[in-house]
Amino acid sequence: MVVQTGCQKAKGYACVWCNGPPTPVCSNNTCAVLAYNPYREYLTEQGLGEDTMIVSSTDGRSVLIDYDVPKFQFSCSDGAAILDGLPGDDTIGLVGLARTQVSLASQISSSFNLAPKFALCLPSSSEKGLGDIYIGGGPYYMPPSPQDQSSSLIRTPLVVNPVSAARFSSDGAPSDEYFISVQDIEISGKRVSFNSSLLSFDKNGVGGTKISTVAPYTILHASIYKRLVKDYVKAAALKKIKRVTSVAPFGACFDSRTASKTTTGPGVPDIDIVLPGNAVSVKLKLSGSNLMVEVKKNVICLAIIDGGAEPRTSIVLGGHQLENRLIEFDLSTSILGFGWARRTQVSLAYQISSSFELAPKFALCLPSSSEIGLGDIYVVSTAPVSSEGAPSDEYFISVQDMHVLIQGQLQRPQLEQGFQDIDIVLSGNAVLVRLKLPGSNLIVEVKKNVICLAIIDGVAEPRTFIYCLSRRASTRESSSRVQSKYINSGFHSLSPALKHKLLSSQAILN
């Protein structure tokens, strides 16, 4: 068995002879390696060093015990050029995570005999905070969700580009970067049409899809980019999102005031990257803040860039699209796992509960819109119940049924002019429970002597009508209808079929 020296593992190629006294950067007979700044494409020869590194163990939730990693290999630079152009004011170096024996993950997993896998969660570029890196596998607990994400990752095979594009690689060597196979791209569920041959490697290793934290934004081959932008602008227009003048280097920008707000960013059309999964295709969903970047006041842009007509890689999934999302690289099985984009960590509840180490819960009591007063918020969780593992960062419950209850003779005038209660039937602890909506929560006064059932049609187009009653009508006459256009998105939204049944029930009961 041939035992590799540290220099051989790092693919050192010579010895650096220093004229001066030994320094932390170089000493006589130091192994020479190449240090590379990908942002400036700056390449320099530096000495290979060894030192002890301290790492922390974790149970996925908290830091446990610190351990030493002896003989950890690295290279230093005594020049400013190697740091030029790196993002962040306080950046002092680069961490290598490629398929090499001297990457951070490889050295640490080898030292502790861990599984050859690592996971990243990059922080949002718009927030101040640190990211996470896990080496050796899960569990992965990403606040504010209480669930281990390792059991719900979207998994797709990692593929090897047979030809390396690195400037300092040997001829014919395979790439040490990370590639995946993309089958399709969809916008709001509709396929983007382009030349699918661009998704495969040619004999020179050109084409395919790469995962890159070096590229700040996703980069597409020009022919893919032009078609995607065209289709995306159409999809945005259907959501009444106004396009504005583009801001370089982006090709599609919008008025942020015309997009709805969600807890993961602007309510813009989703983009799905369709990937091969285990027997069936899976989708990497890009939405909200993973798709948009704010370039100036009231202007957001699609964070995807034109890579030109002859890029080496057809699709480069960049850092912005990977932010706030757990990504696991399992090198033993050549599988890449994507977690759902996590909830924003700048929400009021999250920041307060994190600051005081409170349980991840919160409670609201909203004041009546017809009264002057303040509501209450109690911060105690943001633990959501997710709908079938969906990537939404909104909150879901399981509705079993919806009932309009007969109260007999209307003996409670506070139930507002003959309206019956509506019960939302929910799953409880072993038994069903009911969320009762009395009249005061069901109607809204839209003008003098006119009140409306505060439930709107949930169809895709906003030209909807709601059921209105006249306050002047008697109980027997209260089923008369007054057509009224859509008033406020704060009202309950129902499918057309359910809305029809509900209105019919109200008319009969009244």
Given a cut of 90, is residue 477 above it in pLDDT? no
What was the pLDDT predicted at 508? 35
User: Between residues 438 and 354, which one has the greater pLDDT?
Assistant: 438
Nearest to 418 by CA among 402, 401, 438: 438
What was the pLDDT predicted at 415? 38
Distance of CA 172 to the CA centre of its chain: 36
Given a cut of 90, is residue 221 above it in pLDDT? yes
CA-CA-CA-CA dihedral for 489, 493, 499, 502, to nearest 10: -100
Q: How confident is the model at residue 62 (pLDDT cuts 50, 70, 90)?
A: confident
**The tokens of 354 are what?**
């994190």
User: Between residues 149 and 488, which one has the greater pLDDT?
Assistant: 149
What was the pLDDT predicted at 207? 93
Given a cut of 60, is residue 257 above it in pLDDT? yes
Most confident of 92-96, 249-253, 379-383, 498-502: 249-253
Given a cut of 50, is residue 282 above it in pLDDT? yes
User: Between residues 285 and 172, which one has the greater pLDDT?
Assistant: 285
CATH topology of domain 135-338: Cathepsin D, subunit A; domain 1 (2.40.70)
Residues forming a β-bridge with 338: 154, 327
What was the pLDDT predicted at 24? 57
% of the chain at pLDDT higher than 90: 29
Given a cut of 70, is residue 461 above it in pLDDT? no
**The tokens of 65 are what?**
């015990």
What was the pLDDT predicted at 213? 87
Q: How confident is the model at residue 437 (pLDDT cuts 50, 70, 90)?
A: confident
Given a cut of 50, is residue 75 above it in pLDDT? yes
What was the pLDDT predicted at 264? 79
Residue range 131-154: mean pLDDT, rounded:
83
What was the pLDDT predicted at 93? 79
User: What backbone torsions phi and psi does residue 7 show, to the nearest 5 degrees?
Assistant: -65, -40
What was the pLDDT predicted at 305? 95
Residue range 290-313: mean pLDDT, rounded:
94
What was the pLDDT predicted at 349? 63
Domain boundaries, the chain: 135-338, 348-382, 400-509
Q: Within 10 Å of residue 189's Cβ, how many Cβ atoms?
A: 10
- Is the CB of residue 478 less than 8 Å from the CB of residue 469? yes
What was the pLDDT predicted at 303? 95
- Is the CB of residue 422 less than 8 Å from the CB of residue 437? yes
Handedness of CA 32, 40, 100, 221 (dihedral sign): negative
Q: How confident is the model at residue 58 (pLDDT cuts 50, 70, 90)?
A: confident
User: Between residues 505 and 344, which one has the greater pLDDT?
Assistant: 344
pLDDT digits (tens, 9 = 90+) for 148-171: 888 888 899 999 998 887 766 666
Q: How confident is the model at residue 248 (pLDDT cuts 50, 70, 90)?
A: very high
What was the pLDDT predicted at 350? 55
pLDDT digits (tens, 9 = 90+) for 373-416: 666 666 554 333 333 343 444 555 655 555 444 444 433 334 34
**How far apart are alpha carbons 60 and 149 in whole angstroms?**
10
User: Between residues 274 and 436, which one has the greater pLDDT?
Assistant: 274
**How far apart are alpha carbons 251 and 220 in whole angstroms?**
12
Residue range 430-434: mean pLDDT, rounded:
67
- Is the CB of residue 297 less than 8 Å from the CB of residue 305? no
Global pTM?
A: 0.65
Residue range 357-374: mean pLDDT, rounded:
65
User: Between residues 461 and 243, which one has the greater pLDDT?
Assistant: 243
List, in sequence order, every beta strand (DSSP E) within 40-152: 42-58, 63-75, 117-121, 132-135
User: Between residues 427 and 229, which one has the greater pLDDT?
Assistant: 229
How many secondary structure helices (H) and strands (E) does the chain include? 7, 34
Count of positions (residues) in the chain:
510
User: What backbone torsions phi and psi does residue 412 show, to the nearest 5 degrees?
Assistant: -120, 90
User: Between residues 201 and 35, which one has the greater pLDDT?
Assistant: 201
